[in-house]
Amino acid sequence: MDVGRRRVTVLLTLSVLALVVVSVLGLVVGSVAIPARDALGYLWADLVGGHVAATGVPGYRIVVESRLPRVLTGAAAGAGLGVAGVVIQAVVRNALADPYVLGISSGASVGATGVVLFGALGGLGVYALPTAAFLGALVATLVVLILARTASGLEPLRLVLMGTALGYGFSAITTVLVFLAPAGDAARSVMFWLLGSLAASDWHSVWLVATVAALGSGLALLVARHLDALAMGDDVAASLGVDAGRFRLVLFLGAAAVVGIIVSVCGAIGFVGLVLPHVARLLVGAGHRRVLLLTPVLGAAFLVAADIVARSMVPPYDLPIGAITAAVGVPAFILLMQRRHRAGTR
């Protein structure tokens, strides 16, 4: 095994261990503290069908029915957002790009807000929210692609500028919908949800987000070499047999699907898709295969840890998880950019 692969293996192992540790903490920490031994015992009893004493039933329900789905949903969402960030940054060849900068998340929020406040697509039942969020993300993506296209094709800088402008536009639409909502309580819940929350996680959300994140991560790994080519420019990609325009469109649509589903469940959680890909590149280099192996695990551990902070700072209330990721992500991103600048000036 060469040095590069050994480094990736070690870092990936450490990241998985960190994810396991924060996941166990996620079962233990909360408004009701549960000893780690008891939490793991409840989890084991659920897995093997073991017996739980009558005195332990309340703790069992907290761990298995509330905290475990929340931890798993957060891990899957963090992984999916991290992968979406890697893909989008490669597509637009801009390190500052992520699903939120390009307006994809804002479009998904518009669709989801329409369902929560006005009952749009009510005939779809439990699938109304993810469907509306995906359609909103898809519309946002298509509008950005149309406006960013020039006679010479899609220009990465123009994509970022158009996405940023449209992101503000979709955010304004969401704000108007909230003020037009007939129920004040629903409007307040939407405002909280738009800042991100895992409080409503259940087993349905676990399977939905985990499936989307797994598919997105797997497909991204399959095209990792194409992403390397695309990141070097359309001419280089064409010389390697990659149709840059068509490939970019497919990637954008895939990112819209992943982000739309995650936003429909967890709300708009920023900085995961922006910062974590940078951290992965600093650790394992710029090769997309290595970055795509490490980023999902880092994203999962980061979002689970952020959720622990969000629900333990002011118990029994939950802070918006987006506020926690921003509080960590902003200074982390500034430090990363300063480090890159210093490295570039040497």
Q: What CATH number is given to the structural domain containing 130?
A: 1.10.3470.10
Residue 163 has pLDDT above 60, yes or no: yes
* pLDDT 10s digits, 6-62: 888 999 999 999 999 999 999 998 778 888 888 888 888 888 877 777 778 888 888
Does residue 28 lie within any of the structural domains?
Answer: no
Q: Structural domain tally of the chain?
A: 1
Averaged confidence pLDDT in the chain: 84
Determine, yes or no, domain membership for 4: no
Q: What is the pLDDT of residues 128-154, one digit of tens each?
A: 888 888 888 888 888 887 887 777 666
**Residue 295 pLDDT:** 96
Q: Between 157 and 174, name the one with better pLDDT.
A: 174
Is residue 275 a part of any domain in this protein? yes
Is there a domain that residue 290 lies in?
yes
Q: Half-sphere exposure of 276 toward its Cβ, with a 13 Å CA cutoff?
A: 34
DSSP state of 127: G
How high is the pLDDT of residue 217? 94
CA of residue 126 relative to chain centroid, distance = 21
Q: Is the pLDDT confidence value at 1 over 60?
A: no
Of residues 90 and 157, which shows the higher confidence score?
90
Adjacent-strand bridge partners of 149: 154
Residue of 132, 136, 103 whose CA lies nearest to 116: 132
pTM (2 d.p.): 0.88
Looking at residue 213, what is its pLDDT?
95
Characterise 149 by phi-psi region: left (phi > 0), alpha (psi -120 to 50), beta (else): beta
- The residue-averaged pLDDT of 282-305 equals 94
Tokens of 155: 């220009």
Burial label, 346 (beta-carbon count in 10 A; 0-12, 13-18, 19+): exposed
Burial-class residue 341 by CB neighbours within 10 Å (0-12, 13-18, 19+): exposed
Q: State phi, psi for 53 to the nearest 5 degrees.
A: -65, 155
The residue segments making up the domain with residue 297 are 73-345
Q: Is 100 part of any domain?
A: yes
More confident: 189 or 92: 92
Does 95 or 246 have the greater pLDDT score?
A: 246
Residue 189 clears pLDDT 80, i.e. is over it = no
Highest mean pLDDT range out of 38-47, 172-181, 277-286? 277-286
On the question of pLDDT at 183 being above 80, the answer is no
Model pLDDT, residue 115: 83
Please give the helix or strand (H or E) that residue 154 lies within, else none. strand 153-154
Q: What is the pLDDT of residue 343?
A: 59
Confidence at residue 184, expressed as pLDDT on a 0 to 100 scale: 62
The answer to whether residue 192 is domain-embedded is yes
Q: What is the mean pLDDT of residues 274-283?
A: 90
Q: Is residue 14 in a domain?
A: no
pLDDT at 186: 67
158 — phi, psi (to 5°)? -65, -35
Higher-confidence position of 186 and 218: 218
Q: What pLDDT sits at residue 3?
A: 56
Q: Determine, yes or no, domain membership for 291.
A: yes
Q: Which residue has the higher pLDDT, 179 or 344?
A: 179
pLDDT over 70 at 341, yes or no: no
In this prediction, residues 315-333 reach a mean pLDDT of: 84
